[in-house]
Amino acid sequence: MANPFKNPHRGLLLESVLLVVTFLPVQILAADSPIPVGSRLELFVDRHLVDRMEGVEFRTHPPQMLPLPKSPLIGGYATVIKDGDLYRGYYRDTDPSYTGPQYSGHPGEITCYAESRDGHEWTFPSLGLFDVNGSRENNVVLARQPPFSHNFSPFLDTRPGVVPDERFKALAGHPGKDRKAGADGLHAFASADGVVWRPLGQGPVIPYDKAWSHAFDSQNVAFWSAAEQRYVCYFRTWETPHGRLRTVSRSTSADFLTWDKPVPMHPNLPGEHLYTSQTHPYFRAPHIYIALPTRYVAGRVGGEKTDPMLGSTDIVFMATRAGATSYERLFPEAYIRPGLDPDRWGSRSNYVALNVVPTGDAEMSIYHAKSGHRYVLRTDGFVSVAAGIKQGELVTKPLVFEGNRLVVNYSTSAAGSLAVEIQTPDGTSIPGFSLADCNVVVGDTVAGCISWRGNPDLEAWAGKPVRLRLVMTECDVYSFKFEPKPITE
């Protein structure tokens, strides 16, 4: 697939592009403890690395909905896992032969499986594992084990040394119709192939706590965190500083079986319910966790209608980092709106599948788990630091990097530009790497190398604290990283 974002860009000395360089005042800043970034990718989804901004702003970039082809991940909670060249999809459905009462976690709920080689077109393998509606010719991977199909949430366990028959793991559990006799917490499952699943142990690995009043009635998500060297779980609880609201707590484990005491994350605004957190490591920067929770607004059902028992939903964007006990919400408003489809304005009609996955050279996909629509956005393209026609700049906190060149994901207009200055921790430009030395870049690329008078080599400054000063006009900067690769240009 051709890269839709990558265009030729040219590097010119700054003075040849800007007739007048307006140097925004740089204050002398106290030397903070430098932040080690190594050679990992850093996104602007939070303020973690930002010291100051003048004439630029954080800008959100909602994904674009593609009408066709639709994914099969329609129904309830869903998960998409990219396993090498294979995309694995898991979603909830109901056995057509089930005629019993309908409630969350009822015996007729089933977990289904689909596959794709490109993330666009999906197939439904006949697995022969469960008799559903009188036949084993189906794609069901879990059935007749209530309430676990209600919110069965698998992941690919990337922990080094994981045993082969536990390469995939999952959590599931729900208070059920009768909490006293129903599920008693989150139970663990394992699989060698992501298709045939078995319980891990007999009881819950995260037991229900009566002090929570209610819990687990959502898609509770887990993963192995390479950054934390622990399993991490984000799950539904109800208590917040703003009262009893649907919210998120976090727990960690060394072995997936024994979990630490949960810590509330408190992401809610006053009066705001948050359903599925969908918190997961970003695939290009796994120390950053992206969250796409469903926001529930009680009483609203679209148009002029109101119903105190129902409500409207949309998707918001949050981020957190490995080990953090809070989310950062640069944008409290909706990230994905319900849109023109009237069915998206029904109660609980907007969930997205767990995980943002790559589906092209410079494309990522988010799957809407109710309508089946696929949403796309550019690689790293959740949030940018953006400048308009007037020149602006961002200065980072002191950083310590590994590698010998700086690569930036950016997009400019035809009249726009980006230049980068390397500074000492006190804000002094480093000779040879000043703004005047920088080759201005113009264009659109997810991996543009920055150079100074034709030289991109930063090896002399690796391991030493430096600041980055990004000066731009009509430009969006999405991410950056220092690459350890040897210079071959």
Q: Which range, of 20-29, 136-145, 177-186, 347-356, averages the lowest pLDDT? A: 20-29
> What band does 177 get if pLDDT is binned at 50, 70 and 90?
low
Q: What is the enclosing helix (H) or strand (E) of 135?
A: none
**Cβ within 8 Å of residue 202, ≥6 positions away:** none
Backbone angles phi, psi at 182, to 5 degrees: -90, -155
d(CA 315, CA 317): 7
**Cβ within 8 Å of residue 137, ≥6 positions away:** 126, 128
- Residue 28, pLDDT > 90, answer no
> What band does 12 get if pLDDT is binned at 50, 70 and 90?
very low
- Among candidates 281, 317, 351, which has minimal Cα distance to 81? 281
d(CA 476, CA 470): 11
Q: What angle do CA 449, 455, 460 make, to 5 degrees?
A: 95
Domain 64-377 sits in CATH at: 2.115.10.20
d(CA 443, CA 440): 10
d(CA 421, CA 395): 9
For the chain, the average pLDDT equals: 90
| Per-residue pLDDT at 243 | 78
Q: What is the enclosing helix (H) or strand (E) of 14?
A: helix 14-17
Backbone angles phi, psi at 135, to 5 degrees: -150, 150
User: What is the 8-class DSSP label of residue 342?
Assistant: G
d(CA 116, CA 121): 6
% of the chain residues with pLDDT over 70: 89
Over residues 300-305, mean pLDDT: 67
> Secondary structure of the chain: what % helix, strand, coil (to 5)?
5, 45, 50
| Per-residue pLDDT at 2 | 36
pLDDT tens-digit profile of 53-92? 999 999 999 999 998 888 888 878 999 999 999 999 999 9
Total H helices, total E strands in the chain? 1, 35
Q: How far is CA 241 from CA 251, 313, 330, in A?
A: 19, 22, 20
Cβ–Cβ under 8 Å, residues 288 and 318: no
Q: Tokens for 391, please give them.
A: 């020149």
Cβ–Cβ under 8 Å, residues 439 and 421: no
pLDDT tens-digit profile of 368-389? 998 899 999 999 999 999 999 9
- Residue 469, pLDDT > 60, answer yes
**Who has greater pLDDT, 29 or 83?**
83
d(CA 276, CA 118): 26
pTM: predicted TM-score of the whole model, two decimal places: 0.91
d(CA 165, CA 180): 33
d(CA 460, CA 452): 14
Q: Which CATH architecture has domain 10-61+384-483?
A: Sandwich (2.60)
Cβ–Cβ under 8 Å, residues 275 and 218: yes
| Per-residue pLDDT at 15 | 38
pLDDT tens-digit profile of 386-437? 999 999 999 999 999 999 999 999 999 999 999 999 999 999 999 999 999 9
- Domain spans in the chain, listed from the N-terminal domain onward: 10-61+384-483, 64-377
Long-range Cβ contacts of 101-108 (<8 Å, 24+ apart): 101/177, 103/176, 103/177, 104/147, 104/150, 104/174, 104/176, 104/177, 104/217, 105/146, 105/147, 105/150, 105/174, 105/175, 105/176, 105/177, 105/182, 105/183, 106/146, 106/147, 106/150, 106/177, 107/144, 107/146
% of the chain residues with pLDDT over 90: 77
CB atoms within 10 A of CB 162: 16
| Per-residue pLDDT at 310 | 76
Q: Is 149 helix (H, G, I), strand (E, B) or coil?
A: helix
Each residue of 287-309: b (16+ CB within 10 Å) or e? bbbbbbbbbbebebbbeeeeeee
**Who has greater pLDDT, 12 or 185?**
185
